[in-house]
Amino acid sequence: MIRAAVLAGLIAASFVPVAAWAASAQGQAEATIIEPLVVTRLSDLDFGTVTLAPGTTGSVTIDPASGVRFGGGASAACLSGGDGCAVAHASRFAVRGEAGRDYAVSAPAGLMASGTLLDGSPGIAPDLAIASIRVRTHSRPNSGVSGTLDGNGRDIFDIGGALIVPAGTPAARYRAILPVIVTYS
Amino acid sequence: MRYRSLIGLAGAALLVPAAQAAAPTISVRAEQDLRFGTFFTDTAGTRTVSATGAVTGTAIVPVGANTAGPAQFTITYDRGNNANRTYALQVQLIMTGVSLKVGGVTGVLSSFDTDLPGVGTLLPGQAAVFTINGCRRQICTQTFRVGGRLDVTRANGGAALALALPLTVVLIAEVPA
């Protein structure tokens, strides 16, 4: 009997089971999921149909704020579009996303446009440089590439640039792809 | 008769300290939220924040500064007396997963991990047992971090999700070290 009692004491001292003492806490996990940005192209950046005085270099500058300006020997071929004549204008994009969020537009500073000769000859038109590409958002027109989505999660931004037309450039139709990336900031 | 008396005395000697000491208590306190940060997803995505703070994701795009981080909890055990001896605690941990739908966004906490030694990934409702070593004084505490995986599905719009993160600890045993 004594041996049994001592053994029971040793067990009790070396392993003390405690009956279901439990406690709980309520933590919290949090995340903010925002609406993805959706960008829709409303119009292309178009330098229009341009004529160039013989022996001169010209330029077409499209400022998203102030509009179109011709320089050097370049001038607009028409005042209104139609009949194969295009009028210069900035590119326009619509942005949709989370209301009140800031966003930023990323576009290259310059591009090269490649041309296809209009007379159908097999020759290659030389590439033309597009420089000074600029972004102007309607929500924050003085903040460069930054904009803020309105209460409905919408905004618009325009992109302009300057086309340089060297002397002797053949009549051709020029095209370039303008990559635009819009991200929340 | 002589044997019975000895047994009775031994029993009394074992019971007296227990009768004088307060009952042990265990508590757990939430000290830091589990933060998944700000991100967007097209229709569905996953973001995982580990107990060590590592952040990974699939089909999501994080936005802004990284504010993601694990939750933090502290378990406090009060043994109820000041006996000066080293002991360990065996504790069972249970995390409960929850889901929440806000507008067109649904979030589900689908798994957890902690920096507790010996406790790997925990599925919601699954229990894990771990040991708190090196306890010596009347009060013994263990602070630990909890990471998790958030599965998000989005039908439309965005949402600020605040999901409950219930945690239960059960004291299984106090073990002399």
Q: Does B162 map to a domain?
A: yes
CB A60 within 8 A of CB A47: yes
Q: Does B87 map to a domain?
A: yes
pLDDT digits (tens, 9 = 90+) for A75-134: 999 988 788 899 999 999 999 999 999 999 999 999 999 999 988 777 889 999 999 999
Cα A11 from chain centroid (whole Å): 73
Of the candidates B111, B100, B99, the residue with the CA atom closest to the CA atom of residue B146: B111
pLDDT digits (tens, 9 = 90+) for A124-148: 899 999 999 999 999 999 998 999 9
Of A5, A18, A33, the CB nearest to B171: A18
Domain ranges of chain A: 36-184
pLDDT at A161 over 50: yes
- Interface probe for A, chosen from B63, B79, B135, B170 (most Cβ of A below 10 Å), is B63
pLDDT of the residue at B20: 53
* Contacts with B177 from chain A: Cβ below 8 Å: none
Kindly determine whether residue A28 and residue B105, on different chains, have CB atoms separated by under 8 Å: no
Q: Does B7 map to a domain?
A: no
pLDDT at A15 over 60: no
Q: Does B9 map to a domain?
A: no
ipTM summary value: 0.84
Of the candidates A69, A38, A64, the residue with the CA atom closest to the CA atom of residue A143: A64
Phi/psi for B167 (5° steps) reads -135, 135
Find the angle CA(B120)-CA(B124)-CA(B129) to the nearest 5 degrees: 45
pLDDT of the residue at A30: 97
Tokens for A92, please give them.
Answer: 């326009």
Tell me the sheet residues that pair with B173: A17, B90
Kindly determine whether residue A184 and residue B161, on different chains, have CB atoms separated by under 8 Å: no
Q: Does B1 map to a domain?
A: no
Structure letter (DSSP) for residue B83? -
Domain that holds residue B131: 22-176
Cα B105 to Cα A28, B125, B149: the distances in Å are: 18, 24, 16
Count of structural domains within chain B: 1
pLDDT of the residue at B21: 61
What whole-number distance in Å separates Cα of residue A24 and Cα of residue A20? 12
Q: Does B40 map to a domain?
A: yes
What whole-number distance in Å separates Cα of residue B149 and Cα of residue B157? 21
Q: Is B177 on the interface with A (CB under 8 A)?
A: no
Whole-prediction pTM: 0.76
Other CB atoms within a 10 A radius of the CB of residue B173 amount to: 15
Q: Does B5 map to a domain?
A: no
Q: Does B74 map to a domain?
A: yes
* Contacts with A22 from chain B: Cβ below 8 Å: 26, 168-171
